[in-house]
């Protein structure tokens, strides 16, 4: 909603407006692009009157009679480039929107450039949009995609980090969270874990919110922007947690559809990029291997199948794809049958009487065509994605890993030794083996003895693993032991994750069968 308002020159779009929208140009930087792309498709932008959308730092031609909407981060180079646009008089009028708040000095830079270029009247509006976060689903947000390694787990936990760097990281995180709550129009109740980075973020965010509320006249949380926001007494709860509390989960191999796609395929901002596997036909000796073409698919909220099944275990997803395919084929046959009746007997007398019955059928068939096509597109998409995931599962034996880790984390008995898993050459990539061992190391109550550890290390080395993560975890574990009693993944907690254990506890037999069925059905 905030984006649409911005694209409409910061006036809420009128619902029943009959006139066509004002044609305009959208200019964004990489940050702006990441924020807009998961939410609005090119078609939706066109409905909003956006004819062209360009990156700020690309070479752009002057279009003197069109208003331009800018949506950028207030960074030095962006500001310079905007001043340059003003000097070159590229557009009719300029609507400047900054993703997060712009500082006074930078505003003055723009003002000076505008005066110098005689363009003061053309700068129509300057807004801070406070939209510095990326919305992937209705209820899932990430803070940033560009230079995300700046705010990653590694960045915060580097041993050689300086205080100023830490401050910058914290400020970035706080800024994004602040933007999120401004857009939401609600002031959260903040809870955090003590003595960790989470606490630093909490304190800073608290301060920022309080400062903003103190100045009632310019506060972002009052006035018409919120509608009834300030009268509702329900405040959301913001829980800030440090990743160190639970390091095993992100290493864990998963078994649900969305998580698998994210784990084994290249999946960013709701778009998955696949390399198409070359066809099985043999290439003649000496010929160049075929270049793999890349395909990208958008998995969005409008994709019903994705919405329904992203949390389902993989074998279920495979069955559902199959069912969808069958129902689609049935509909398609119906259309074909009508076509043949209409076509073949079009010549003789008898056809006329048949026409009247079939016209009704035909009308309904034609009206269902767009729906059928969309259905087919989704089925193709998910067949491809699921097949790609399946290849990974089979080649890396991910189901075996998943099950084994599940047992380690719930402290149940293991059916084969860890050493066998690591030294089995067929199972998984070196990275998979490392993840498995780290989970074992993090979850074990007492660390394995030095002799055992040496054995494991040797096996991991033979498998081609990089041992750097292990040494980090080793230090980390020693450090947390000093700091607190070990967290238990074990008895204190109920059985982990209902959905997984439901699939798991029916015994590994079923899971393996699931994968096998799937392969047969596909053929």
DSSP states along 443-491: H-SSPPPHHHHHHHHHHHHHTT---HHHHHHHHHHHHHHHHSPPPPSST
Separation between Cα atoms, residue 176 and residue 424, nearest integer Å? 45
Would you call 311 helix, strand, or coil by DSSP? Answer: coil
Topology of the domain covering 1-128: Rossmann fold (3.40.50)
Sequence-distant (6+) residues with CB within 8 A of 435 are 251, 252, 253, 401
Separation between Cα atoms, residue 392 and residue 220, nearest integer Å? 48
Burial of 147 (0-12, 13-18, 19+ CB in 10 A): exposed
pLDDT at 399 (0 to 100): 83
Q: Which two tokens stand for residue 150?
A: 């700046």
Strand partners, 313: 256
Numbered ranges of CATH 3.40.50.2060 in the chain: 1-128
Separation between Cα atoms, residue 152 and residue 250, nearest integer Å? 13
pLDDT at 506 (0 to 100): 37
Q: Which of 10, 130, 131, 144 is nearest to 69 (CA)?
A: 10
pLDDT at 512 (0 to 100): 37
- Structure letter (DSSP) for residue 16: T
Separation between Cα atoms, residue 175 and residue 238, nearest integer Å? 15
pLDDT at 72 (0 to 100): 92
Separation between Cα atoms, residue 297 and residue 305, nearest integer Å? 14
Numbered ranges of CATH 3.40.50.1910 in the chain: 143-245
Sequence-distant (6+) residues with CB within 8 A of 382 are 305, 306, 317, 321, 324
For the domain spanning 143-245, the CATH number is 3.40.50.1910
Q: Which two tokens stand for residue 315?
A: 């074998």
Residue 477 phi, psi dihedral angles, 5° rounding: -65, -45
pLDDT at 507 (0 to 100): 35
pTM above threshold 0.85: no
Sequence-distant (6+) residues with CB within 8 A of 26 are 7, 45, 50, 52, 53, 54, 68, 69, 71
Q: In what order do the strands lie in the sheet with 271-275?
A: 266-268, 271-275, 294-298
Residue 154 phi, psi dihedral angles, 5° rounding: -65, -40
pLDDT at 492 (0 to 100): 35
Separation between Cα atoms, residue 36 and residue 272, nearest integer Å? 17
Q: How many CB atoms lie within 10 A of CB 105?
A: 8
Numbered ranges of CATH 3.90.830.10 in the chain: 247-276+293-341+367-396
- Dump pLDDT digits (tens) for 268-322: 888 888 877 644 444 444 555 555 678 888 888 888 888 888 888 888 888 888 8
Separation between Cα atoms, residue 221 and residue 198, nearest integer Å? 24
Contacts 24+ apart (CB under 8 A), 207-213: 208/174, 208/178, 209/178, 209/181, 213/187
Q: Which of 55, 264, 258, 269 is nearest to 146 (CA)?
A: 269
User: Within 13 Å of residue 320, how many CA atoms lie on the same side as its CB?
Assistant: 18
Residues of the chain with pLDDT under 70: 13-19, 216-218, 221-233, 277-292, 339, 341-358, 481-523
- Which single residue is written with the structure tokens 């009206």? 367
Sequence-distant (6+) residues with CB within 8 A of 4 are 13, 40, 48
Q: Report the Cα 39 to chain-centroid distance in Å.
A: 11
pLDDT at 97 (0 to 100): 92
- Structure letter (DSSP) for residue 472: H
pLDDT at 146 (0 to 100): 74
CATH architecture of 247-276+293-341+367-396: Alpha-Beta Complex (3.90)
- Dump pLDDT digits (tens) for 359-395: 777 777 777 778 888 888 888 888 888 888 888 888 8
Separation between Cα atoms, residue 6 and residue 431, nearest integer Å? 44
């Amino acid at each position: 909603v905030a984006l649409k308002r911005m694209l409409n020159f910061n006036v809420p779009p009128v619902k029943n407006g009959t006139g066509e929208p004002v044609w305009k140009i959208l200019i964004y930087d990489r940050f702006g692009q990441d924020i807009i792309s998961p939410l609005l498709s090119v078609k939706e932008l066109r409905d909003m009157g956006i004819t062209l959308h360009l990156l700020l730092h690309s070479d752009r031609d002057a279009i003197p009679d069109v208003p331009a909407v800018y949506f950028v981060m207030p960074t030095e180079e962006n500001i310079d480039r905007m001043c340059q646009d003003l000097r070159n008089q590229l557009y009719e009028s300029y609507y400047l929107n900054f993703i997060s708040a712009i500082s006074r000095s930078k505003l003055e830079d723009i003002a000076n450039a505008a005066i110098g270029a005689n363009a003061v009247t053309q700068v129509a509006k300057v807004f801070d949009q406070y939209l510095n976060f990326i919305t992937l689903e209705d209820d899932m947000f990430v803070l940033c995609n560009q230079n995300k390694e700046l705010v990653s787990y590694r960045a915060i936990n580097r041993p050689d980090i300086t205080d100023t760097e830490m401050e910058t990281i914290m400020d970035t995180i706080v800024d994004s969270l602040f933007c999120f709550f401004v857009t939401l129009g609600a002031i959260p109740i903040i809870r955090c874990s003590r003595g960790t980075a989470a606490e630093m973020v909490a304190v800073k965010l608290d301060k920022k919110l309080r400062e903003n509320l103190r100045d009632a006249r310019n506060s972002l949380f009052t006035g018409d922007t919120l509608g009834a926001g300030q009268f509702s007494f329900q405040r959301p709860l913001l829980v800030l947690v440090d990743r160190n509390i639970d390091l095993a989960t992100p290493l864990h191999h998963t078994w649900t559809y969305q998580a698998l796609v994210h784990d084994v395929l290249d999946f960013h901002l709701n778009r998955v990029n696949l390399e198409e596997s070359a066809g099985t036909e043999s290439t003649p000796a000496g010929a160049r291997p075929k270049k793999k073409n890349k395909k990208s698919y958008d998995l969005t909220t409008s994709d019903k199948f994705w919405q329904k099944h992203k949390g389902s275990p993989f074998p279920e997803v495979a069955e559902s794809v199959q069912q969808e395919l069958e129902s689609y084929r049935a509909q398609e046959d119906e259309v074909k049958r009508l076509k043949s009746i209409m076509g073949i007997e079009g010549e003789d007398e008898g056809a006329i009487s048949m026409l009247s019955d079939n016209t009704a059928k035909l009308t309904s068939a034609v009206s269902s065509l767009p729906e059928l096509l969309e259905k087919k597109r989704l089925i193709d998409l998910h067949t491809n994605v699921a097949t790609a995931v399946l290849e990974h599962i089979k080649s890396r034996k991910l189901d075996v890993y998943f099950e084994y880790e599940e047992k380690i984390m719930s402290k149940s008995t293991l059916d084969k030794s860890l050493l066998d898993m690591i030294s089995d050459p067929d199972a998984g990539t070196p990275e998979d083996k490392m993840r498995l061992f780290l989970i074992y190391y993090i979850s074990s109550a007492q660390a394995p003895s030095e002799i055992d550890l040496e054995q494991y290390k040797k096996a991991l080395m033979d498998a081609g693993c990089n041992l750097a993560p292990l040494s980090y975890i080793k230090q980390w574990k020693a450090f947390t032991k000093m700091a607190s009693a070990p967290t238990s993944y074990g008895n204190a907690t109920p059985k982990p994750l209902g959905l997984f254990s439901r699939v798991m506890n029916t015994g590994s037999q079923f899971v393996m069968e699931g994968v096998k069925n799937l392969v047969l059905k596909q053929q």
